[in-house]
Homo-oligomer: A and B are copies of this chain.
Amino acid sequence: MSSRRPGVLELAVLGILHEAPMHGYELRKRLNSVLGMFRAFGYGSLYPCLKELLRQGLIAEETRPGAKPLAGRKSKIVYRLTAEGKERLQDLLGQAGPAAWEDDGFGVHFAFFGMTEADIRMRILEGRRSRLEERLDGVRAAMSRTRERLDAYTLELQRHGLESVEREVRWLNELIASERKSGPATRWDAEGHEEGSPGGRIG
């Protein structure tokens, strides 16, 4: 409840721990393999985050039955999501705001779309598309305000940037169309996850 601002890492950790309990080192690898293209976190980021989540009661240290009562504990510590943690995760995934479609957050939110309700998924996809289209408009406007004469490199950067963003918009369009075909009310996971996910691509 205490108003700590999310940040990508918290969501990512909760999301991954929802799949399975894990210890820090493993978690980091999984983290960077899921989000590898967008971000990479170090231990210096992860462990403080785990500590904080623990303090908030969103995760707990697993106590395996036949475990070792290490006194001078410097052994594996397996974390699992608590009930509050699951709640918090669902809460974060249920919010379709800027945090979910800005550059920082989008990747992580998308990665956990499998646990996200269909209407939220749609709102986030559309939100991101609008955001990118605003950006396109902005840059295009700036370019036609031909006052600003840019050198060849800056121009090339613009060109490449535009192309990349246009490409992402097309991708989003496909995803949105795909989501619409599947109709609303599709949500595969959330609690007990069975294996029956859609076929070829996404839709």
* Chain A residues in the interface with B (C-beta under 8 A): 30, 32-34, 36-38, 107, 110-114, 135, 138-139, 142, 148, 150-154, 156-158, 160-162, 164-165, 167-168, 171, 175, 188-189, 197-198, 201-202
Contact = CB atoms under 8 A, between A and B. Distances in A.
B34 A156 contact: no
Contacts of A30: 148
Nearest to A33: B142
Contacts of A165: 37
A162 B114 contact: no
Contacts of A135: 36-37
A69 B160 CA distance: 45
21 contacts: A32-B138, A33-B142, A34-B154, A36-B135, A36-B142, A36-B161, A37-B161, A37-B165, A107-B161, A110-B157, A111-B153, A111-B154, A113-B153, A151-B188, A151-B189, A151-B197, A152-B201, A160-B171, A164-B164, A164-B167, A164-B168
A138 to B, nearest CB: 6
A107 B167 contact: no
Contacts of A153: 110-114, 202
Contacts of A148: 30, 33
Contact of A152 (B32, B34, B158, B197): B197
Contacts of A113: 153
Contacts of A151: 114, 188-189, 197
A139 B202 contact: no
Contact of A37 (B32, B158, B189, B201): B158
Contacts of A139: 33, 36-37
